[in-house]
């Protein structure tokens, strides 16, 4: 199991939060020994209310099916994380291409090059997106990004400066909450990385 990219996950979640989507983090390959490290990496997300579903697409896909029923779901994931295997398990006739991981680059070889819509039944549909390495957020302004970090919401508007970047300004409510353990430091650092990259 490859380590997933924290910033890429945070960017995808941020975009989903902004659009008010129902979000489910699927932790695939739960049968592998590295699952404990992956759980630890996801701890900040479960703490703030994100749902995490552990499964092994090669063994049992049933736990995922209720989340798909009655919805149009979009599968977005980092390359090499078993998304194509997941699609094949949900829709056996899909025959989504799967390839081995490139260990030299520690990256999955892209097997899907365009989004594809599958119909599970009359009420349930699935959109398979290409594996991603980057996820742009230039369509979102700073305020939208703030609001899309759920744990920031109680503290927004409490900083001394209205245009606080939550990186260096004095009397920043977000950094104060982080220092007090109310916000996970890893999440604040991700916010700072993302917002500095989109300036």
96 and 185 fall within a common domain:
no
60 in the same domain as 101: yes
C-beta atoms surrounding 36 within 10 Å: 9
Task: Calculate the alpha carbon distances from 86 to 74, 75, 162 in Å.
Answer: 12, 9, 44
Q: Is residue 133 part of a domain?
A: no
The answer to whether position 119 is within a domain reads yes
Of the residues 101, 128, 155, which one is the last residue of a structural domain?
A: 128
Is the four-CA dihedral 142, 143, 148, 149 of positive or negative sign? positive
Which sign does the torsion angle of CA 43, 46, 50, 51 carry? positive
71's tokens: 């919805």
Beta pairing class for 24-27 and 51-54:
parallel
Residue-number span of the structural domain to which 170 is assigned: 142-197
Q: What's the pLDDT tens digit per position in 153-173?
A: 999 999 999 999 999 999 999
- Is residue 101 domain-resident? yes
Q: Contact, 177 vs 183, CB < 8 A? A: yes
Give the tokens for residue 170.
């004095």
Tokens read off for 45: 């997300």
pTM of the entire structure? 0.82
Co-location of 115 and 29 in the same domain: yes
Over the stretch 41-71, which tens digit does the pLDDT of each residue have? 999 999 999 999 999 888 889 999 999 999 9
Rounded distance, CA 157 to CA 140, Å?
19
Give the whole-angstrom CA distance, residue 141 versus residue 138: 7
Q: Could you tell me if 82 and 20 lie in one domain?
A: yes
pLDDT (tens digit, 9 = 90+) per residue, 68-110? 999 999 988 887 777 888 888 888 876 655 443 333 334 444 4
Q: What tens digit of pLDDT does each residue of 102-155 get?
A: 333 344 444 445 788 888 999 999 988 876 656 678 888 999 999 999 999 999
């Amino acid at each position: 199991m490859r380590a997933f990219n924290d910033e890429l996950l945070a960017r995808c979640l941020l975009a989903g939060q902004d659009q008010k989507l129902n979000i489910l983090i699927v932790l695939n390959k739960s049968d592998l020994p590295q699952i404990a490290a992956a759980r630890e990496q996801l701890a900040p997300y479960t703490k703030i209310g994100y749902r995490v579903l552990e499964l092994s697409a090669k063994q049992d896909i049933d736990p995922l099916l209720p989340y798909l029923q009655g919805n149009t779901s979009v599968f977005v994931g980092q390359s090499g994380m078993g998304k194509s295997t997941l699609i094949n398990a949900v829709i056996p006739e899909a025959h989504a291409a799967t390839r081995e991981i490139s260990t030299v680059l520690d990256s999955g070889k892209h097997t899907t090059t365009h989004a594809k819509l599958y119909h599970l039944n009359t009420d349930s549909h699935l959109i398979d997106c290409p594996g991603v390495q980057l996820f742009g957020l230039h369509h979102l302004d700073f305020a939208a990004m703030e609001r899309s970090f759920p744990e920031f919401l109680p503290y927004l508007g409490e900083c001394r400066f209205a245009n606080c970047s939550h990186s260096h300004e004095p009397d920043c409510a977000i950094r104060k909450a982080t220092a007090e353990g109310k916000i996970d430091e890893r999440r604040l650092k991700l916010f700072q990385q993302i917002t500095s990259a989109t300036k």
